[in-house]
Amino acid sequence: MLINVPESVVPDALRGMAAAHPELTVDVERRVVLRRDAPVAGKVALVSGGGSGHEPLHGGFVGPGMLDAACPGEIFTSPVPDQMVSAAAAVDSGEGVLFVVKNYTGDVLNFDMAAELAEDEGVRVAKVLVEDDVAVTDSTFTAGRRGTGATLFVEKIAGALAAEGAPLERVEAVARQVAGDSRSFGVALSPCSTPDKGGPTFELPPGELEMGVGIHGEPGRERRAMMTSGEIADAALDAILDDLRPDGPVLALVNGMGSTPLVELYGFCAEVHRVLGERRIPVARTLVGNYVTSLDMAGASVTLCRADEELLRLWDAPVRTPGLRWGA
Amino acid sequence: MLINVPESVVPDALRGMAAAHPELTVDVERRVVLRRDAPVAGKVALVSGGGSGHEPLHGGFVGPGMLDAACPGEIFTSPVPDQMVSAAAAVDSGEGVLFVVKNYTGDVLNFDMAAELAEDEGVRVAKVLVEDDVAVTDSTFTAGRRGTGATLFVEKIAGALAAEGAPLERVEAVARQVAGDSRSFGVALSPCSTPDKGGPTFELPPGELEMGVGIHGEPGRERRAMMTSGEIADAALDAILDDLRPDGPVLALVNGMGSTPLVELYGFCAEVHRVLGERRIPVARTLVGNYVTSLDMAGASVTLCRADEELLRLWDAPVRTPGLRWGA
């Protein structure tokens, strides 16, 4: 691994973010990444966070049009309430803060505690839980469904609405709508390796797939012999569309788990579009790339979100972050 | 691998690009990726290309402010002159075309032949050769130095100048300046696997590094036992700064080879900035991410370019491509 020592991976990365992104304030001590211009007067603030190892999620999504702050935990480990409280206090303009929380037990507990503490300090806090992964319920680390790719949709779309000056209740409602209307399914073609362990965190022999894998390598639905890109797209979309019945256009994320080359991801994207075409589901926008990753895991996930005109308008709105940037 | 069959990896990826990027014209038959609005009246056109497997380079850099067209070859294999001629004819507005060529024997020969053929058809063609990799000369596939990360700098900066309406001679001169003022050095922590071979293309045992690796896994300067991120940054910048003596600010690319997680790349970026700080070389801009990749190789490269005010202005100018996008 390209590291100094396992213990310094997260602070080293934060020092690098500070060096590369002068438009952000990176508090390496407190482990918070902030918009440099926070708090933005009159604007609801968005705060997210979670274990590191999923970059660009979340720190790479801090900036105008998306998050006001992110709290990175250790690799695959929830951040602590202190980070979230400190972030909320730093970004609250008086209009309140929305916590975007992926559904993992540690994250949920810590964001709950942070919300209470922040409210004690006079910050109005709302929360949205992202639980989009249809693969399994009650997996390792999670009661209910896991939060994965839909987090990007929630952060981008609610972030755009907040940027327009919408009040907390409205930003929260749209964030819930996006979370509720999104579904994901992922596959692993290789395990991932954490710096701590120095090697694979689970076993997945070459030539086998984990269907429905979680973003920490949690088990999915089944272990299968290698399938083609087209067969994987069929299976992933079967799983998603068993649960989500879009009656109009969707927003699609074709997401890499980390080490799957972009040339393969685009090929997979072609197969995802083929399946959606066969199902007569129009794809309004497609984002392809490594956005919600699992360190160096090979594989991909698909996330779909039902998208009305208003959601597409917010999706298209300008965003300026290290990981997602357009129109600004 | 996330593929259908090895033979269809490149056309499958092109179908995916077409699906995800309606702002591009993707000619899957001819294997050319084009700006949808090409030719742009009054503008010099930029055409590049090379073997696939380095994405987002080059197809992901097609769009306003960067390339007008890209010609993807098979994985790690030069595109053929027909692709380049067809691209040049499609994007030439009458102001001429600049070919951006990475220094690999096949690419150089084929772009040379394409330039002659295009000129026979009345297209004015200029060429710039990118040969920035200081690691070795006369490596596998290459007479002289290999072309790597500087390609992104050349395409972005010359693309911005072309977008302003500069004539071919001036676009060519600035492209040459950027190519001449850039140096790179890369390390591999793992080999990469091509779809054809279905496994690693070279041997690199865990716990060893290839110092000075090429973007196709070509041998570098030496095989070393694993080093820390800080030691690698020291070695890479020693190699670069032995050859390039910046007397002012530089533009820095901290580039991932494909499967190195972003959290590690940012940590490496911190070490690159530390070394440049020790050498008293100001870093005007830093780009961190997987931009000039080698399929699923683990590792990273550093590219520095001497950057005057004019170059920085062109670097900051709006760009709107799948792989690089800001201010537009």
Give the pLDDT of residue A328.
78
Residue B138 in this model has a pLDDT that exceeds 90: no
Q: Supply A260's token pair.
A: 């799957």
* CATH code reported for the domain at A182-315: 3.30.1180.20
Q: Shortest Cα distance from A287 to chain B (angstroms)?
A: 7
**Would an 8 Å CB–CB cutoff place B249 in contact with chain A?**
no
Give the pLDDT of residue B117.
98
For the question of residue B21 being annotated catalytic, the response is: no
> Inter-chain contact B269–A16, Cβ cutoff 8 Å?
yes
Each residue's pLDDT tens digit, A12-70: 999 999 999 999 999 999 999 999 999 999 999 999 999 999 999 999 999 999 999 99
> Inter-chain contact B8–A260, Cβ cutoff 8 Å?
no
Tell me the average pLDDT across B99-110. 98
Taking only residues 263 to 302 of chain A, the set having a beta carbon closer than 8 angstroms to any beta carbon of chain B reads 263-271, 273, 283, 286-288, 290, 293, 295-296, 298-300
In CATH, which of 3.40.50.1970, 3.40.50.10310, 3.40.50.10440, 3.30.160.150 is domain A8-131+142-166? 3.40.50.10440
Nearest-Cα residue of chain A relative to residue B232: A2
- SS3 for B142? coil
Q: List Cα–Cα distances, A289 to A132, A167, A195, A269, in angstroms.
A: 19, 32, 23, 10
Each residue's pLDDT tens digit, A239-292: 999 999 999 999 999 999 999 999 999 999 999 999 999 999 999 999 999 999
State the Cα–Cα distance between residues A262 and B296, nearest whole angstrom. Answer: 9
Which of these is catalytic: B21, B58, B216, B273?
A: B216
Percentage of residues in chain B having pLDDT higher than 70: 100
> Inter-chain contact B228–A5, Cβ cutoff 8 Å?
yes
Q: List Cα–Cα distances, A71 to A37, A51, A80, A113, B51, in angstroms.
A: 17, 9, 8, 14, 39
Residue A140 pLDDT grade (very low, low, confident, very high; cuts 50, 70, 90): confident
- Establish whether the linkage from the previous residue to A56 is cis, with ω within 30° of 0: yes
Residue A139 pLDDT grade (very low, low, confident, very high; cuts 50, 70, 90): confident
Q: Shortest Cα distance from A120 to chain B (angstroms)?
A: 34
* CATH code reported for the domain at B9-166: 3.40.50.10440
Residue type, B219: P
Question: CA B25 from chain center: how many Å?
Answer: 21
Per domain, the residue ranges of chain A are 8-131+142-166, 182-315
**Would an 8 Å CB–CB cutoff place A74 in contact with chain B?**
no
Residue A141 in this model has a pLDDT that exceeds 90: no
Contacts of A295 in chain B (CB under 8 A): 261, 263
Give residues with Cβ within 8 angstroms of A236, minimum separation 6.
Answer: A185, A186, A187, A272, A301, A302
For the question of residue B273 being annotated catalytic, the response is: no
Contacts of B15 in chain A (CB under 8 A): 267, 270, 273
Q: Supply B289's token pair.
A: 């991410």
State the Cα–Cα distance between residues A246 and A235, nearest whole angstrom. Answer: 17
Residue A138 pLDDT grade (very low, low, confident, very high; cuts 50, 70, 90): confident
Strand partners, B70: B33, B48
> Inter-chain contact A263–B55, Cβ cutoff 8 Å?
yes
Give residues with Cβ within 8 angstroms of A266, minimum separation 6.
Answer: A288, B12, B13, B14, B16, B17, B20, B55
Q: Supply B99's token pair.
A: 């070919």
Tell me the average pLDDT across B81-91. 98
Strand partners, B126: B98
> Inter-chain contact B228–A4, Cβ cutoff 8 Å?
yes
Give residues with Cβ within 8 angstroms of A63, minimum separation 6.
Answer: A23, A24, A35, A319, A320, A321, A322, A325
Q: Supply B304's token pair.
A: 């520095």
Which residues of A are catalytic, by number? 54, 216
Nearest-Cα residue of chain B relative to residue A208: B1
**Would an 8 Å CB–CB cutoff place A254 in contact with chain B?**
yes
> Inter-chain contact B261–A3, Cβ cutoff 8 Å?
no
